[in-house]
Amino acid sequence: MTPEELTLWAHVAAGFVALFAGLGAFLTTKGGRRHRRLGRAYVYAMAFVSGSALALFAFEATDLRRFLALVAVFSFYFAFSGYRVLGRKRPADGAAAVDWAAVGLVGAASVGLLAMGGVMVLGGDSFAPVALVFGGIGAIFAGTDALKFRRERDRGAWVPEHVTRMGAGYIATVTAFATVNFGFLPSVARWLGPTVVGTPVLIYLSATYKEKLAPA
């Protein structure tokens, strides 16, 4: 087995770990030991998925692997930022250098996705909406997070932020699973379907937690 094949199989295995660990974290009692362990396993698996995607691009710099590498950075940022917010629970807790580095990285990846989407539009590629949607979402989050880092947050704001970020990362995990296994669907539907279905759920959960934590 070549190093590239080994990396690919490890990438797939880590993807399945992320898929099941993320689901387990969602279903278990929030704040419990099992939830925390599954959440950490999910974040670590996503880190490996993203790193291996970059390694696969280094093995063969095709347009597809370039796109997948950028999406991997985009996807991991949500899991990473959702995990990092746990270390900034107090309103006065500021962002660390690693948080700024992550924002810069996802911002650069999002610009790359937008650029790829623009090239696809000019070339008449029907896949352009996927790159543009992911790039747009990433750019918005990078910009809003950079602004958040500069001001003090409300008490309890970390809860809905943690839920939505981890949820967004899990949507990315489901998207990867769908693109590989749901070949009977159109390509754009496989890539954007989980986002279309999952985003309203995350908005609802975020609003629910904000209402629960709001002052009486």
What pLDDT does residue 216 have?
A: 47
Tally of CB atoms within 10 A around 203: 12
Q: Reply yes or no on whether the pLDDT at 215 is more than 70.
A: no
DSSP string, the chain: --HHHHHHHHHHHHHHHHHHHHHHHHHSPTTSHHHHHHHHHHHHHHHHHHHHHHHHHHH---HHHHHHHHHHHHHHHHHHHHHHGGGG-STTPPP-HHHHHHHHHHHHHHHHHHHHHHHHHHTT-TTHHHHHHHHHHHHHHHHHHHHHHTSPPPTTTHHHHHHHHHHHHHHHHHHHHHHHH-TTS-HHHHHHHHHHHHHHHHHHHHHHHHHHHS--
Structural domain of residue 88, as residue ranges? 3-213
Distance CA 126, CA 135 (A): 16
Q: Reply yes or no on whether the pLDDT at 194 is more than 60.
A: yes
Distance CA 73, CA 102 (A): 9
Residue pair 76/165 in contact (Cβ under 8 Å)? The answer is no
Q: Reply yes or no on whether the pLDDT at 129 is more than 80.
A: yes
List, for residues 145-160, the tens digit of each pLDDT value.
Answer: 888 887 766 666 778 8
Mean pLDDT of the chain: 88
The amino acid occupying position 101 is A
Residue pair 83/108 in contact (Cβ under 8 Å)? The answer is no
Reading the block at residue 185, the tokens are 């669907």
52-56, 94-98, 116-120, 163-167: the lowest-pLDDT one: 94-98
List, for residues 6-46, the tens digit of each pLDDT value.
Answer: 999 999 999 999 999 999 998 888 888 999 999 999 999 99
Q: Reply yes or no on whether the pLDDT at 78 is more than 80.
A: yes
What pLDDT does residue 122 have?
A: 93
Residue 213: pLDDT band by 50, 70, 90 thresholds?
Answer: low
Number of structural domains in the chain: 1
The amino acid occupying position 2 is T
Please give the share of the chain, as a percent, with pLDDT higher than 90: 50
What pLDDT does residue 121 have?
A: 94
Residue 1: pLDDT band by 50, 70, 90 thresholds?
Answer: confident
